[in-house]
Amino acid sequence: MKRQINNKFPQELLNTITLGDTIESLKKLPDSSVDMLFADPPYNMQVEGTLKRTNGSNFKGVEGNDWDEFESLTSYKEFTRTWLKEAQRVLKKDKSSLWVIGSFQNIYVVGDVLQELGFWIINDIVWSKTNPTPNFLGTKFTNRQETLLWATPTKNTKYQFNYKTMKELNGGKQMTSVWDIPVSSGNERVKDDGGEKLHPTQKPDKLLYNVIISSTKINDLIVDPFMGSGTTGAIAKRVGRNFYGIERDEKYHKYAMIRVNKEIPQLDEFTQAKFDIKPPKVKFHDLVDSNYINQQEKLYFRTSDITATISNVKELYFDGDDYGISKLGGILSGSSVNANGWDVWFVIRDNKKVPISQIRDAYRINVLGFEG
């Protein structure tokens, strides 16, 4: 099932993974056509020799993977600049964002190039692992975290942020830039046909869930230029987003395809960002036009006896002048800034003072069909 969500992005690429080079494949995508791009590039770890566990066995990290080998810091930086430029080009100019994950070996290069190219950092997020690999030899602090940079492609580009959804997911408190998430393991970890872990650096589902749920909408298009084991595609599909992936390794590509195809979309209040759905805007004169408030009514300021009438232009008339409800509310409150006009003005209904926000609620439900 492919959902057409974008006029510019090639429909035949939606929800597929291209087997090929990251930069070449990115270059084929049209300008300004992607809602969000998530990238997990090689980290340029510069591992030397083998690390033994304290019991004498070998630790198997990324050692031996040629995709994490660069000639020098300069060549890594050039590689980073090249793919980030393409990312910047394909992201929508009006509203979109980029995520990049890395560790201390590479994230400072990535962050510097981002800023040099004019990306605008929104947050840096710390993935604090609850079960990091310990430092076997006691030579430094246990390297516990990886860092995600979240940025817009230009300073003026807007971005999606489902604030209330994340607050709800975080137990009612604002979600912060430090995320406690365990390393991917057990059943979540993709195995090859030999039962070995497919990819040395598979990211946890929960990490991608947070990234996608916080910064995209249903049916948005998410691009991952370093698809690896396919976590981005799998979670994107699971939560009702479109994706497009690029992976240059044939084995990873094959298993990622299988993994994504197995996924079933599961929509709920979080994936639909129900908590962030904003009620439609209503203007005061809409209520007058629709007769929810009568042109002849008096409006009362808070619980006081101060009243205003409705002017010919369907704003408030007070002491010889026309005002908007919020501006006059601010003035009467003795403040230099606007008050929330919907909360400070009351009308009489059934002999009781009722805030006009209640009238607006009724208008939204009955006239606009909005279900809070």
Q: Which of residues 78-137 bind DNA (CB under 7 A)?
A: 103-105, 115, 120-123, 130-137
Q: Are 100 and 88 in contact (CB under 8 A)?
A: no
Task: Please give the biggest Cα pair distance in the chain.
Answer: 89
Give the whole-angstrom CA distance, residue 219 versus residue 9.
13
DSSP 143-156: --EEEEEEEESSTT
Give whichever of 13 and 110 is closer to a second copy, judged by the CB atom: 110
Encoded tokens for 240: 């009702």
Site string for DNA, 341-370 (x = CB under 7 A): xx-----------------x----------
Among 46, 128, 266, 290, binds DNA (CB under 7 A): 46
Quick note: the x/- pattern for DNA over 298-337, rule CB under 7 A, is -----------------x--------xxxx---------x
Query: What's the rounded Cα separation, in Å, for the pair 153 and 341?
Result: 37
Of 20-28, 77-85, 172-180, 249-257, the segment contacting DNA by CB under 7 A is 172-180
Helix (H) or strand (E) holding 18: strand 16-19
Q: Which residues pair with 197 in a beta bridge?
A: 191
Of 200-229, binders to a second copy (CB under 8 A) are 214
Does position 82 bind a second copy by CB under 8 A?
A: no
Report the alpha-carbon distance of residue 189 to residue 196 in Å, rounded: 10
Out of 65, 82, 123, 160, the residue judged to bind a second copy by CB under 8 A:
123
Token pair of 242 as six digits: 């479109």
DSSP for 201-256 reads TPPPHHHHHHHHHHH--TT-EEEESS-TT-HHHHHHHHTT-EEEEEE--HHHHHHH
Nearest CA to 302 out of 277, 334, 259, 255 is that of 334
Interaction between residue 144 and a second copy (CB under 8 A): yes
Contact 73, 133 (CB under 8 A): no
Residues 226-265 that bind DNA (CB under 7 A): none
Cα end-to-end span (Å), the chain: 30
Binder of DNA out of 43, 79, 255, 346 (CB under 7 A): 43
Please identify, using beta-carbon distances, which residue of 114 and 257 lies nearer to a second copy: 114
Q: Determine if 122 is a binding residue for a second copy (CB under 8 A).
A: yes
Q: Does 50 contact a second copy by CB under 8 A?
A: no
Q: Which of the ranges 137-145, 230-238, 312-320, 360-368 carries the binding residues for a second copy, by CB under 8 A?
A: 137-145
To DNA, the closest distance from the beta carbon of 230 in angstroms equals 14
Of 107, 111, 86, 83, nearest to 32 (Cα)?
86
Residue 6 or 44 with smaller CB distance to DNA: 44
Binding site for a second copy (CB under 8 A): 52, 56, 69-70, 73, 104-105, 107-112, 114-116, 118, 121-126, 128, 132, 134-135, 138-145, 147, 149, 155, 161, 163-164, 166-167, 174-178, 214, 335-337
